[in-house]
Chain A
Amino acid sequence: MIEFLEYHLPVLLIIIPMIAAPLSVLIGNRRIVQWLALTVCWTTFGLALWMVAIVNSSGPVSYELGGWAPPYGIEYRVDQLNSFIIMFVSGLGAIVLTYSPHSLNAEIPQSQHYLFYPMYLLCMTGLMGICVTGDLFNVFVFLEISSLSTYALISLGRTRRAPLAAFQYLIMGTIGATFLLIGIGLLYQMTGTLNMADIAAHLENQRQINDGQWAGSRTMLVAFAFLTVGLCIKMAVFPLHSWLPNAYAYAPSVVTAFVAATATKVSVYAFIRIVFGIFTPRFAFELLPLDTALWSFSLVGIFMASIAAIFQQDIKRRLAYSSIAQIGYMLLGISMANNDGLSAGIVHMFNHALIKGGLFMVVGCFVLRLGSVHLDDWKGAARTMPWTSLAWVLGGLGLIGVPVTCGFISKWLLLTAALHNNLYSVAILMLISSLLAVIYIWQVVEVLYFCEPSEKAKQATEAPMLMLVTTYVVVGANIVFGVWTTYSAGLAAKAAKALLEGGSP
């Protein structure tokens, strides 16, 4: 039995949530579906941990779907990088779902809960699928699965702005996915295969680099462009970020917590895989100025988003703009294309998932008790909701990047990576931008602790125990992984090394 499970582990990670989803719709009973979904999510997390252990002990795992050998069959390939991501995506999915009941009861009509869970499970399926697969078209399919379920989840929000936000996200997201599809098509045309490792091998032959001049196929350049831009839309890179603030602000709190923690990170992973795995770093960074483009857009995005965050009265929008800025940090790390930078980008995916997931869970607690996301309604809430407010402070410190939180780890790695490449101006700009986070986080802290309680704050009570405990698990993980990083920065460093070594010709 154990060998069977171990052998089929990569596909089980996808199949289990995928089957549970229609099963939930069929079952129809809210309570049963809730328990089913919880079981499935925690099982998936357990399997993901097992996967991490296997990959760490015996190296990358390759699984042939249906027994068909690659490159004709679809291959699932799990190495250091994706096992790491699978672990935290499934982990956060499980924790947020555990946290969700009270929040869901308040924000979504009970008759629709049995539809919420299958959507959630499908989103998980899609995200896990993107991470696990080694086939490029599979990436597109799972990307669309996760996106479609995300659009549906977002539209479940309370106000009428929610379907509108979902629609706008749908349009932009579909354009992005279609660009991705075009890129895949062009790559297929040039190489005749869809398996990522195989494409990389074929492109080797096609590259024909003479004296630093590109003498190969122009189609490859176009494919690269489409893939990159398509993924940038999904990652919400400036200037293609406009779908994110509305989508995060108007979705139900649970949805925002899950999506903010996972969806963009998985797109960043796909980006890394394509740039480093298929088009090698040499092509992307030395021949094409992708590094310059990335770090300039990232920096502009970081500053613009951080400054925008300062002026938002809606806390969820504030955190949404903050997410755009943090994606910028991830890409900044990736653009350095050295060990430190890539580690920084990868570990920041993990750290930011914890930080943002935790912060949005805190927001969910406040929304439940105060009934509002408006800063004015949160005044003085620290008096009636001390633990929730403390969780905001701890999560916020992580976002700022104070030592002893995981945010500091990413920041430090980014700093050393930038200096390693002699990018002094990038380093200074990155440090200054992190100070902007102090402003928009501390505004909320001041409102919570230093103001006279608003009407809503006076009537509030502390958040329910379940929500508090799960929030503190995530926020606490923030601190734990800020002090002990063997399994975060350590894993990220190994993944980065594997990517950079494997990618070089």
Chain B
Amino acid sequence: MTLDEVLGLYNYWVVICLMMTGFYIVIARKNMIKTVIGLNIFQTSVVLLYITMGKVTGGTAPIIPPETFAHQNDHHGLVHETASDAVDEGTLETVDEGASEAIHQSAELIYSNPLPSVLMLTAIVVGIATTALALALIVRIGEDYGTVEEDEIQVIDRNERRNNEYHK
């Protein structure tokens, strides 16, 4: 790969770095809160992956600008049909000339892909729910064990097991 290509893929490098950082924190850190933070970083990297994937070079936000929208309103019925035809066939070829002009104008604008961002909204919500649940569990564990360090908890558990067997 040429230097240009490598640099051009910088978003993926960022994603990979974040992903590995998050993953490492999850695996290597014994403090539960830190684990959750690591998980969050891991999930954030994936969010970035999707969002950067959705960005089209030279693309603008996927919102139809007001001017084009006004035009579309004039040719309301026609445009609607041909627009939906275009969507169905996956092409921008239209039948009607008048409508094609309006379409052409809106077609000059390149939009970034809205779908990944939308997907990531869902993923972020899932992530938040997971974090909330994880933190709630940590609070419970903290109350029960008096600590949120995994190695200390292991020691406490091991001692408890030994005591149980001793007292049998």
Contact = CB atoms under 8 A, between A and B. Distances in A.
Interface of A: 72, 137, 140-141, 144, 148, 151-152, 155, 160-161, 163-164, 166-167, 170-171, 174-175, 177-178, 181-182, 185, 188-189, 194, 376
Contact of A163 (B23, B46, B50, B137): B137
A161 B168 CA distance: 20
B140 A174 contact: no
A174 B46 CA distance: 12
Question: 8 closest pairs, A vs B, by CB?
Answer: A160-B144, A163-B140, A167-B137, A144-B126, A163-B137, A163-B141, A185-B50, A189-B53
B39 A181 contact: no
B122 interface: yes
Contact of A167 (B42, B129, B138, B157): B138
B39 A174 contact: yes
B129 A148 contact: yes
Given A155-B137, A167-B138, A178-B46, A141 B145 contact: no
B46 A148 contact: no
B39 A171 contact: yes
Contact of A174 (B43, B141, B145): B43
Interface of B: 23, 26, 32, 35, 39, 42-43, 46, 49-50, 53, 87, 115-116, 119, 122-123, 126, 129-130, 133-134, 137-138, 140-141, 144-145, 153, 157, 168
A421 to B, nearest CB: 37
Contact of B137 (A72, A170, A181, A194): A170
Contacts of A171: 26, 35, 39, 134
A152 B137 CA distance: 9
Given A164-B145, A181-B123, 14 more contacts: A140-B123, A148-B129, A148-B130, A155-B140, A163-B137, A163-B141, A164-B153, A170-B133, A174-B130, A188-B53, A189-B53, A194-B115, A194-B119, A376-B168
B46 A170 contact: no
A137 B35 contact: no
Nearest to A151: B133
Main SS of chain B's interface residues? helix
Nearest to B15: A182
Contacts of B23: 175
A325 B134 CA distance: 29
Contacts of A72: 87
A175 B26 contact: yes
Contacts of A160: 141, 144-145
Nearest to A177: B126
B43 to A, nearest CB: 6
Given A161-B157, A166-B137, A141 B130 contact: no
Contacts of A185: 46, 49-50, 53, 116
Contacts of B39: 171, 174-175
A493 B119 CA distance: 36
Given A72-B87, A141-B126, A171-B39, A151 B49 contact: no
Given A171-B39, A185-B46, A137 B137 contact: no
5 contacts: A148-B133, A164-B141, A170-B133, A175-B39, A376-B168
A181 B46 contact: yes
A254 B153 CA distance: 26
Contacts of A141: 122, 126
A189 B52 CA distance: 11
A275 B123 CA distance: 23
A170 B153 contact: no
A29 B122 CA distance: 31
Contact of B119 (A137, A164, A376): A137
Which of A141, A174, A177 has the most chain B CB atoms closer than 10 A to its own CB? A174
B144 A163 contact: yes
A188 B51 CA distance: 12
Contacts of A188: 53, 115-116
Contacts of B53: 185, 188-189
Given A171-B26, A178-B42, A151 B137 contact: yes
B42 A152 contact: no
Contacts of B137: 151, 155, 163, 166-167, 170
A188 B145 CA distance: 44
Nearest to B157: A161
A21 to B, nearest CB: 14
B112 to A, nearest CB: 14
B79 to A, nearest CB: 19
A170 B134 contact: yes
Name which of A152, A167, A170 has the most chain B CB atoms within 10 A of its CB. Answer: A167
Contacts of A148: 126, 129-130, 133
B107 to A, nearest CB: 18
Contacts of A166: 137
Contact of B42 (A151, A155, A175): A175
A376 to B, nearest CB: 8
Contacts of A189: 53
A163 B116 CA distance: 34
Contacts of B122: 137, 141
A372 B166 CA distance: 17
Nearest to A170: B134
A269 B137 CA distance: 29
A167 B116 contact: no
A450 B75 CA distance: 87
A278 B42 CA distance: 26
B145 A170 contact: no
